[in-house]
Amino acid sequence: QVQLKETGPGLVQPTQTLSITCTVSGFSLTSYYMQWVRQTPGKGLEWMGFIRSGGSTEYNSEFKSRLSISRDTSKNQVFLKMNSLKTEDTGVYYCARDMGAYFDYWGQGVMVTVSS
């Protein structure tokens, strides 16, 4: 069955870089786009960016300058890296499988706190 699971640090210091891994099973990353979404107290759910089945990426302009999404298809993993973290980046980060105009499966999410 389709499963997605995010892993990452619970705590990141301001100005540092966040790295999260999404490990998927039950489908191939070469057949589906993969999305990153976050949920923060200040802004709710926000679309962050995605990686296409062919490997190209696109980002929300809100994050474009500091966000990078990549993948390792051999390990069924998608990666999110975001630099220059601020306290307002505190929230839950999700990966999700893209079905075009909507996302069908989501990971459990990983809580990230930005604090010194």
Residues that bind another protein (CB under 8 A): 35, 37, 44-47, 58, 60, 94, 99-104, 106-109
Residue (of 34, 44, 52) closest to 106 by Cα position: 34
Minimum Å gap between C-beta 45 and another protein is 4
Minimum Å gap between C-beta 95 and another protein is 10
- DSSP per-residue codes, 65-97: TTEEEEEEGGGTEEEEEE-S--GGG-EEEEEEE
35 or 90: whose CB is closer to another protein? 35
CA distance 25 to 47: 22
Minimum Å gap between C-beta 55 and another protein is 19
54 or 100: whose CB is closer to another protein? 100
96 or 114: whose CB is closer to another protein? 96
* 75 φ, ψ (degrees, to nearest 5): -105, 5
Minimum Å gap between C-beta 56 and another protein is 15
User: Using an 8 Å Cβ cutoff, are 8 and 110 in contact?
Assistant: yes
65 or 101: whose CB is closer to another protein? 101
